[in-house]
A and B are shown apart, each in its own frame.
Chain A
Amino acid sequence: MELNLALAPETLARWQFGITTVYHFLFVPLTISLAALTAGLQTAWVRTEKEKYLKATKFWGKLFLINIAMGVVTGIVQEFQFGMNWSDYSRFVGDVFGAPLAFEALIAFFFESTFIGLWIFGWDKLPKKVHLACIWMVSIGTILSAYFILAANSWMQHPVGYRINEAKGRAELTDFWLVLTQNTALSQVFHTLSAAFLTGGAFMVGIAAYHLARKKHIPVMKTSLRLGLVTVVVGGLLTAISGDVLGKIMYEQQPMKMAAAEALWDGEEPAPFSIFAIGDVDKGHNKVAIEIPGLLSFLAKDDFTSYVPGINDVNKAEQETYGPGDYRPNIPVAYWGFRWMIGFGMTSFALGLLGLWLTRKKFLLPGHLRVGDDEVPHLSLLPGRALGPTLTKWYWRIAILTLGFPLIANSWGWIFTEMGRQPWVVYGVLQTRDAVSPGVSQGEVLTSMIVFTALYAILAVVEVKLLVKYVKAGPPELTEADLNPPTRIGGDSRDADKPMAFSY
């Protein structure tokens, strides 16, 4: 197909990568966190034999499965689109970048996919503890998967442990251990995993709030609410800490990205933190800027006086190192992406903290506000007084709304980190425009982009409708079979002609 769209060859390929990857990452954090949270609930069931934990396991497990199905299938595209749209990238970096991908498939994907099958179909085939071990295996698989792919991405952010083979025109691995353990990789893993738990926690809180506001499924949803709130607060706190660590590393490794994140055009000492800015990209300065003096120096270097280089300084330095060119990313996207990431992420953290206080447990509450296990908790802001019905209703509403905030924060986080690295695909080593497939036409890329976008849009509607259906239905009633798991692997022989506990 011949098509001249007057676009740079990489533009469509970048859009496609952006669309498919951001979409994929809507499911990834939920998968990671819900696997672990479901495993935690099932552990509570196995240890205490309280039915509310089994009901919670079944309820959140179902939502987890609806979600992971989408995560898995959209992940297949990720494995192949480097070859499809980015063949020159693949040729150049395969020696380094391919290894963590292969490790991910061989170690993590097999783990996840095999044990998820065992967990889904294993309710009446595996003894209780073996069945529980399966969901923990899935959880380990999701975390290993995140680790390997983030190590690969970190190498694009900050390439280490390689050399350039001029004769072959490619990067070659020299130190795999360094690729796996460099501080960029470890802090990205830390940041991404904690954000994943913030996401899953908020998801749990939102859905539990939906039922509690309607006074339904109270014992299960109260447990879920507390578990979700604790996860949000711990996850949120760790996200903030790891974000600070990662930010400081990025000031060392990619000063351009961080200068763009702050729309700091020229270096300052001390450097201010920008609250709001309207910039002029052509002239290289801000027309409007509201700033907090010295705070950026602190974020970058841990003191209030240090020099932080600006966009124009780094651009000049890179021109001296890499030759003439424009080394600035899309500044408004970096600036606003950074703000949306922090804003939405930390709002959900703050609301989680508020929720944890409002729903605090017995020993912090006076007697008349304490409730039994099957009553909706009183929300109490001030000691000794419960919130009125209007404020209570609003708290539940906001809690439901918060469910979406971390998803928005995650998406902007990736858009910021990937677009902030431009024009590089591997920072300082390979530019994005040199990474595309020379043999693939614009028409082909456009075709696949339209196909994936349309398919993903349809599946999004299907998925969300299904989630809503199962959210509204609430936890299932437990059956005889649920309460009497088999004692032998493969199922007890007395069950030979019984219907399977789960079937497609």
Chain B
Amino acid sequence: MELHDVWFVLIAVLWIGYFFLEGFDFGVGVLTKLLARNRPEKRVLINTIGPVWDGNEVWLLTAGGATFAAFPEWYATLFSGFYLPLLLILVCLIVRGVAFEYRAKRPEENWQRNWEEAIFWTSLIPAFLWGVAFANIVRGVEINSDLEYVGGFGDLLNPYALLGGLVTLALFTFHGTVFVGLKTVGEIRVRAQGLALRLGLVTAGLALVFLLWTQADKGDTASLAALIVAVVALLVALGAVKAGREGWAFALSGLTIVAAVAMLFLTLFPNVMPSSLNADWSLTVTNASSSPYTLKIMTWCAAVATPVVLLYQGWTYWVFRKRIGTQHIADPAH
């Protein structure tokens, strides 16, 4: 295994980490409309991710920075090519971050409601768009001999990609619902269980179609194995929700995300962005990667830093392990 293969795996790990973690906090954002019945419940939801969403988001920045360093051509083609969707995602992430931090900083109801509205939309839109983006990467887009994206914005909105968007949106929302079941106490916890069952079924249907489509188009044995893991994990997660085993349900909904994203990366390899115009124009781990020296330095950095990051991020979840209910939300906000 050469270093650029290692970095293909590490980039996949970073995206998987991002979707696992920010997946549930996007989901919680969507649930502020789907699950919460009143404003104290909305606040309970928002506070389940309060201490952690920012750290979760850094997985994206790290995936971006690591792609820049390890696969500059991939970084350049992807973000200049998917220009407008990325712009929309960035706008959402900007507003979302400010919304979390500023919502409770004024007592006026209007102020708080506006930011709550923002949290919903800025969670929903990126949850959908990341699926669209990754489906397009897997499907292949119009890349010319200079490794430039030459397709238009409309080309990105094909049925396969839109289905991919619905899958990530549904899967993240399901993952978020299971997370809420694990982190809350009281009536909202009970309702989260009911909603998780219904959402899980929808997610299973959408994901099965999308993953089978992917498998039929691009799959091999390894991707088939990942597909089976993803689907089985999702079904067992549903069983765990029904049985009230919340910890297991969360681990399994997470495993679904891990396996599904891993499957997408498995179908890509050794490409990183296949060209739909000419297979020779595809970006691959070889023609898109940095020099061995840079990859070696990056490998050392990742090998030392990643375990430490996992350790202190994990510790954060342990510090905030207590369940939250409406009784824990001080009123008025301060």
Chain A residues near B (Cβ < 8 Å): 65-66, 69-70, 72-77, 79-80, 82-85, 87-88, 90-91, 93-99, 101-107, 109-110, 113-118, 120-122, 125-126, 165, 170, 172-174, 176, 437-440, 444, 447-448, 451-452, 455, 459, 462, 466, 469-470, 476, 489-491, 496-500, 503-504
Contacts and interface: CB of A to CB of B under 8 A. Distances in A.
A91 B290 CA distance: 10
B77 interface: yes
A499 B327 contact: yes
Interface string B35-65: 0000000010011001111110110111011
Contact of A120 (B51, B84, B329): B51
B96 to A, nearest CB: 8
A485 B94 CA distance: 33
A15 B268 CA distance: 36
A455 B94 contact: yes
Interface string B72-106: 11011111110110110011011101101111111
Contacts of B64: 79-80, 83, 105
B101 A98 contact: no
B100 A107 contact: no
B291 A173 contact: yes
A173 B294 contact: yes
B309 A94 contact: no
B297 A503 contact: no
B316 to A, nearest CB: 6
Contact of A102 (B62, B316, B330, B333): B62
Contact of B90 (A77, A98, A118, A170): A77
Given A102-B65, A455-B94, A466-B105, A118 B47 contact: no
Contacts of A90: 68, 72, 75-76
Contact of A69 (B58, B72, B101, B309): B101
B313 interface: yes
Contact of A439 (B46, B73, B149, B321): B149
16 contacts: A70-B98, A76-B90, A80-B90, A83-B64, A83-B78, A84-B83, A98-B70, A109-B62, A117-B54, A172-B290, A173-B297, A176-B294, A444-B84, A448-B83, A466-B105, A499-B330
Contact of B309 (A70, A74, A110, A174): A110
Contact of A498 (B66, B290, B328): B328
A490 B318 contact: yes
A45 B75 CA distance: 46
B65 A503 contact: no
Given A114-B312, A498-B328, A504-B103, A94 B76 contact: yes
B300 to A, nearest CB: 10
A96 B50 CA distance: 36
Given A105-B66, A106-B306, 4 more contacts: A82-B75, A94-B290, A101-B69, A503-B47
A172 B97 contact: no
A107 B305 contact: yes
B330 A500 contact: yes
Contact of A497 (B53, B95, B328): B328
Pick from B71, B93, B105 the residue with the most CB of A within 10 Å: B105
Given A90-B72, A109-B58, A490-B318, A174 B293 contact: yes
B298 interface: yes
Contacts of B298: 99, 102
B272 to A, nearest CB: 13
B178 to A, nearest CB: 21
Pick from B69, B93, B328 the residue with the most CB of A within 10 Å: B69
Contact of A504 (B43, B55, B313, B321): B43
Interface string B313-325: 1001011111010
A245 B327 CA distance: 58
B277 interface: no
A400 to B, nearest CB: 23
A118 B294 contact: no
Contact of B50 (A76, A102, A117, A173): A117
A448 B43 CA distance: 33
Interface in B128-179: 146-150
A79 B90 CA distance: 10
B87 A447 contact: yes
B301 interface: yes
Contacts of B101: 65-66, 69, 504
B307 to A, nearest CB: 11
Given A90-B68, A105-B61, A176-B297, A440 B80 contact: yes
B68 A504 contact: no
B62 to A, nearest CB: 4
A95 B294 contact: yes
Given A90-B72, A101-B69, A172 B294 contact: yes
Contact of B98 (A69, A75, A499): A69
A99 B294 contact: yes
A115 B319 CA distance: 12
B69 to A, nearest CB: 3
B69 A98 contact: yes
A79 B47 contact: no
Pick from B43, B50, B103 the residue with the most CB of A within 10 Å: B50
Contact of A118 (B46, B316, B328): B316
Nearest to B59: A110
Contacts of B61: 75-76, 79, 105, 109
A447 B291 contact: no
Q: Which 9 A-B pairs have the closest CB atoms?
A: A94-B72, A83-B79, A98-B69, A499-B330, A69-B101, A98-B68, A87-B80, A87-B76, A117-B51
Contacts of B291: 95, 165, 172-173
A455 B87 CA distance: 12
B107 to A, nearest CB: 11
